[in-house]
Amino acid sequence: MATTMHTATTMATGMTTADRSAASLLRILWLASPALPVGGFSYSEGLEAAVDAGLVRDEASAALWLEDQLHLSLARSDLAVVAQAIPAWRQQDLARIAELNHWVLQTRETQEFRLQSEQMGRSLLEWARQLGELGAGVFEQLQAAQLHPPTYPVACACAAANTDASLRDSLVGYAFGWAENLVQAAIKSVPLGQSSGQRMLARLALQIPAAVDHAMALSDDTRQAFTPMLAILSARHENQYSRLFRS
């Protein structure tokens, strides 16, 4: 079986190498966009609870919180899963895909985090279905894998695998999409202004390459999901009196 599968409409015959490269880049930007209808904007991943607890109270503390979350949580867990899932999808190693998906489900530290991963994964599957021929390759592969349910890191890796984008570029896109959603959550929950949000996003953008390199270097034995403070805050958020976000 071919190592990489592409949808016929996305990677049409007759396209130049430059055209295919541009199309792949645009696809990764599309997946990273907050406009992607997977509901990422509705989650703060514990940030809202940190604001409620007084741990995040201004631009400086919000930026530091998200930088720590990037390196200590995302890079070591979901981003590392995406790094391993993309080549597995391209090789159609469904046993490996199922293993990674199971790991994500089993390592969510709170109910909120697990529900987020499941809901966003199902929404990405539905997004691919709604695209018709444009998303056929992604939808068919996710269906064939029989993941119940597909988690977001594994489902997003499937969409990225259906492009010619490099693994590193795909991971940079995934991390930047996460950063945009969390910065918007900080703007709404602290609250902060748009200028503060842009400064925070600039700081995260400078650190994303190192986080990606870290994620790509992790193996099954070194990949981990262990953020006790974040888990405690997420558990508290489940019963928080007033909240804007689902996590």
CB 117, CB 151: distance < 8 Å: yes
Per-residue buried b or exposed e for 131-152, using 16+ beta carbons within 10 Å of the residue's own CB: eeeebbbbbebbeebebeebbb
What number is the average pLDDT over the span 70-92? 98
* Residue 14 pLDDT grade (very low, low, confident, very high; cuts 50, 70, 90): low
What number is the average pLDDT over the span 173-196? 97
What number is the average pLDDT over the span 3-23? 61
Alpha helices in the chain (DSSP H): 17-32, 47-52, 59-69, 78-90, 94-107, 111-130, 136-145, 152-161, 167-189, 194-217, 228-237
Query: What pLDDT does residue 246 have?
Result: 83
pLDDT of 56 > 50? The answer is yes
Per-residue pLDDT tens digits for 143-182 = 999 998 999 999 999 999 999 999 999 999 999 999 999 9
pLDDT of 11 > 80? The answer is no
- Encode 110-151 in three state secondary structure: CHHHHHHHHHHHHHHHHHHHHCHHHHHHHHHHHHHHCCCCCC
The whole-angstrom separation of Cα 78 and Cα 243 is 25
The distance of Cα 186 from the centroid of its chain, to the nearest Å, equals 17
CB 196, CB 188: distance < 8 Å: no
List the one residue out of 10, 24, 45, 28 whose CA is nearest residue 177. 28
Nearby residues of 85 by Cβ (< 8 Å), 6 or more positions away: 96, 97, 100, 153, 154, 157, 158, 161
CB atoms within 10 A of CB 202: 11
List the one residue out of 120, 81, 131, 125 whose CA is nearest residue 104. 81
Q: Is 205 helix (H, G, I), strand (E, B) or coil?
A: helix
pTM of the model: 0.92
Domains and CATH numbers, the chain: 43-237 (1.10.4190.10)
pLDDT of 12 > 60? The answer is no
CB 48, CB 56: distance < 8 Å: no
The whole-angstrom separation of Cα 146 and Cα 155 is 12
Query: Which of 46-55, 131-140, 204-213 is least confident?
Result: 131-140
Mean pLDDT of the chain: 92
* Residue 19 pLDDT grade (very low, low, confident, very high; cuts 50, 70, 90): confident
% of the chain surpassing 90 pLDDT: 82
CB 233, CB 53: distance < 8 Å: yes
